[in-house]
Structures are given as C-alpha cells and as structure tokens.
Structure 1
Amino acid sequence: MAEAEECERQKTGRRRRRRGRRKGDGSDPVEVLGEEVIGLVMELLDARSVARCTAVSRAWYEVAADNRLWAPKCAELMAGKAHIPRLTMIRTASKLSTYSMAIMDGKRNRITREDLCDHAWEYHFTIAAPEYWRNLDPSWKHTGPPMRRYFHHDGYHSADPHDAVWGGHECEYTIITSFVGDGRIRDHYVRINRWPPMKVSRKEDWSWELSNHLYRYNSIPDAEKEGCTGPLFPVW
C-alpha cells in the first residue's frame, strides 16, 4: 500500500513539473538568458551540435537555425574545397539547409553530366599503361603540364590542340548506373568510346577522380568558378 502511494506521489510530482515547464517556469536557458546570449554560445559550438539544438524546442530552433549563425559555418565548410556545389547558390534556401545540402553533396559518389561538363580534367597514364603511351604523357617525364580532357553536354569528349595522345579522333562518353532491388547503386562508371570503364570516386576536398588500370582523370579545382558546379538539385 505504501509503495502504491509513493508511486502515485511521484507521478503527481512529474505532472506538476511538466505543467510548470509548459507555463514557463524559467528552466529553459533561452527564457532565462535570452536568444542573443544563447546565440553567442552556439557560435562556439561545432555545426553538428548546433544542428542538434534545433530539435530541442521551437524557441531553440529559432536561435539555432538563424542565418547569421550558419553563414560563417558555411564559409568554414567550403574553405579549401576543390569544387563548390551549385545547389548552395539557391537564394531562397536557409544557410542551415545550404550547409546540410553541401555536406550531402560532398559525400555523393554518383557523378552527373553536369559534374563532368563543369570541370576541366587532368589526364594521366598509370604504370600499367604501355611504355609508348607513358612516354607521350608529359607528367610522366616532367616535360610539361598534365594533359587535359573536356566533357561536353552533347556527349562529345575532347582534348587540347596538339595533344600527342589525343590524335584528333572522334570520342564520346557515357555514364552507366545500375541499381539493385532496394534502390542502392550496384555499379556506376564512366566510359569513353569502348575503352575500359572508369570507376568514380570522390576525395575529401570534394574533387572527382575517374580511373581504371590504364589511366585516370582528376577534376581540376575551380572553387572560384562563377555559379559553382554540379547539379542544381540534390542527387543521391
């Protein structure tokens, strides 16, 4: 009997505390210190911690999602990156949304036609390539800058004039993506004519690499490019 009464008293106490919090009993730091002070505290937190604060309550969300708080975090995130996603240029998006989309895009390994065409690419032979080809590659012999390749929206693939390897022949590219039953990507690669497929990978600075056992393509950093690069809408 005594245990039942004690349990009931505890339940009553919890209900009273919940009612007190709903009425604003001064236990919420935002109410006690004010939004400006809490905002200054959040400026010292990392982005993940600030993002978690948005889930505490509506009052916390108003502070933690403020554009003034996220603008410098976006700048810090994109500093030193090889490419800046075009979707970060959406003017109507909040800075919190911009940060989140940039993070997701930076982890994306599925390349699009926009990604290929927006960048210039350095072209290198690997050690597995025939010696004759490697001798034509200035980066192997340190006789000049790396060769460059360019992708075009009409499916054409080109090189700089007087490229010793290119030879001026017709060249086309395709992007191949296959999926398994649950929507996950099973295979994803880029292919030039009938040459071996090139697997797609992403580096920490958000640059791209296309590679096979004979050669590789590396996207040239262009973070200052007007309008940024890549697809305008998220691709997963």
Structure 2
Amino acid sequence: MAETKLEGREAKKKRRAVGSGGESSKEVGGGGDGGEEEKMWMDPMVALGPDILTRIMEFLDARSVARSVVVSRAWYQVATSDHIWSSKCEELWKGKAHIPRVSMLRGVSKLEAYSLSFKDGKRKRIMKDDLCDHVWEFRFQKSAPEYWLNLDPSWKGSGPPMRRYFHPDGSQTADPTDQVWGGHESQFSIVTSYVGNGEIREHYVRINRWPPMTVIRKEDWSWELFNKLYHYNSIPDASKEGGTGPCFPVW
C-alpha cells in the first residue's frame, strides 16, 4: 500500500513537470516528510534577452542595478554597461553645483564615475582643489563694520556679491574693480585635525590672520565658508552648460 502511494506521488510529480514547461521548468523536493516543492525559475537573461533586460534596468534605481552585477557573468556585462550608467550619472548630477573632478578622469567607466561621485558627495572635508576649482561669491555678514557693508554692492543693492579666487600657490585674488580688496597680499590655509578613526575634530579655512571660517558642504555639493565677518559660497562655473562644473561631460 505504501509503495502504491509512493509511485502515485512520483507519477504526479512527472505530470506536473511536463505540464509546466518540460526541462526549462523543473521541480525539486524540498525535503521532509511533506515533500515541500519549489519551482526553479528561468533566468530573465535567457527568457528576455540582453536588449530587453537593458531596457528594464534603465528604469531601476542605481542601487538595484549595482546589486544585479553579481548575478552572473552575462548580467555583469549588461549591468555595468556605459549605456545604463550614463543616464544614472546624469540623474545623480542633476541640480548639483559641482561634479567631482575624479569622476571626469579619462578611462573611468560610467559605473565608476557614478560610484566616485556618490562617495565624494558625502565628503565633508574641503581640499585645495575644491577651493581652486571654483569661483567664490564673497559678501560681508551683518555683524561686520558698517564701513565694510557700505563697500559691499550686495548690501547696497547696487550689484551682485563680490568674487574671490583661490590659487594653487596658496594665494587669493579678487576682481580688479573690487573696492574692498585694495590690492593687498592674501594667503589661505586649510586646517584639519582628527579625533581618531577618521573623525574630524576641527576643520576650517583661514585667510591671512583673519578669524577662521567654518566649512559646510551643501546638498548640491557646493561649499560654504563663513565666520562672523564675512561669507564665501562656491558657485557653478558660469561657462558650463546646465550650471554645473568644473567639467560637465558630453557623453
């Protein structure tokens, strides 16, 4: 009697396997007395093909596409293609004031460009390249002496904020028509100290012997420097299409 039931169960399994797609859809026993079964699915790469799977991945978020890289070698080739990651980079960079220079290096794949940009966007420590790559708006704070405020066109409403320029040799300059600048020599320095394990304890930028400026990285990846007297804000390079910089790529 027991053998008859076993044979009937085996025959039932075979009928189900044939009716559900033959060799491309198989069933395997799940073990245990209940014989729990689970169906093996066909690889979407085989069922749909790389072209359709590429179109599907274009609609996925970057994290989901990145996770699919480890599925198989065929999935890796699709999920790491520049075609997919070019659009992901554009989505990531949209509305950003600055695009990290490291993501623009020759030979960097679009997946690497995305990864490097995403990681750099979380960086809070300002570097010399950050200071030198961009033009900076400069204006006085409300707490500055009234004489200085009267020289600031943005406070008087007679023009836009003044501009400052940082240079690789550690110097700083201004526009020739800047009434505040006066042609004096100016040097900048970046000071960073750590508590341990990479945690920053103190981080500021200083111009000559003026009060140190606090450093803030904004959501659009621009930088803000300020103390009680004046304020700096990095601005996108005006010559770059879309208001990004320093080197918005053309794919």
TM-score bracket for this pair, using the shorter chain length: 0.7 to 0.9
Q: What corresponds to 1:104 in structure 2?
A: 119
Please state whether the residue corresponding to 1:180 is helix, strand or coil.
strand
The answer for the alignment partner of 1:40 in structure 2 is 55
When the two structures are superposed, what TM-score results if normalisation uses the length of structure 2? 0.77
Closer, same or farther: CA 223–87 of 1 in aligned 2, 3 Å: farther
Specify the alignment match of 1:89 in structure 2.
Answer: 104
- CA distance in 1: counterparts of 2:226 and 2:32, whole angstroms: 65
> Which of structure 1's runs of 4+ aligned residues deviate more than 4 A?
223-226
1:163-197 Cα shifts (integer Å, max 9, x gaps): 22112222111011111222222111100011111
Where 1:124 maps in the other structure, the secondary structure is strand
Query: Where do 5+ consecutive residues of structure 2 fail to align?
Result: 1-29
**Equivalent position to 2:31, from 9, 13, 26:** 9
Aligned residues: percent identity? Answer: 61
Describe the superposition over 1:8-38 as per-residue Cα deviations: whole angstroms up to 9, x where unpaired: 9349x79x98xx9xxxx65322222222221
Residue 207 of structure 2 aligns with which residue? 192
Aligned partners of 2:185, 2:239: CA distance in 1, in Å? 32
Following the alignment from structure 2 to structure 1, what is the Cα–Cα distance between the partners of residues 31 and 94?
56
Aligned length: 215
Greater RCO (CA < 8 Å, at least 6 residues apart) = 1
* 1:223 Cα offset (Å): 7.3
Partner of 2:80: 65
SS at match of 2:103: helix
**Aligned residues of 2:225 and 2:233 also touching (Cα < 8 A):** yes
Whole-angstrom CA distance in 2 between matches of 1:94 and 1:152: 30
Q: 1:132 aligns with which of 138, 144, 147?
A: 147
Residue 155 (structure 1) aligned to one of 131, 148, 170: 170
* SS state at 1:108 partner: coil
Q: Distance in 1 between matches of 2:246 and 2:32?
A: 59
What is the distance in 2 between the residues matched to 1:120 and 1:139?
17
Residue of structure 1 equivalent to 2:14 = none
Gaps of at least 5 residues in structure 1 are 1-7, 231-236
Change over 3 Å in CA distance of 1:47–1:61 after alignment to 2: same
Contact map agreement 1:85 1:105 (CA 8 A) in 2? yes
RMSD of the alignment, in Å? 2.7
CA contact (8 A) 2:136 2:164 kept: yes
- 2:228 pairs with one of 190, 213, 233: 213
**Closer, same or farther in 2 for the Cα pair 1:55/1:190, shift >3 Å?**
same
Larger Rg: 2
Match of 1:75 among 65, 74, 90: 90
Worse overlay, 59-68 or 134-143:
59-68
1:85 corresponds to which letter in structure 2?
P
Partners of 2:236 and 2:246 within 8 A in 1: no
State the distance in 1 between where 2:97 and 2:196 align. Answer: 34
Give the drift of 1:214. 1.5
2:3 — aligned with what? none
TM-score, reference length from structure 1 = 0.81
Structure 1 residue 96, shift from structure 2 partner:
0.9
Q: Which residue of 2 aligns with 1:202?
A: 217
The equivalent residue for 2:129 is 114
> Does the C-alpha gap of structure 1 residues 223 and 180 become closer, same or farther in structure 2, counting only changes over 3 Å?
farther
Report 1:154-173 matches (<5 A): 154-173=169-188
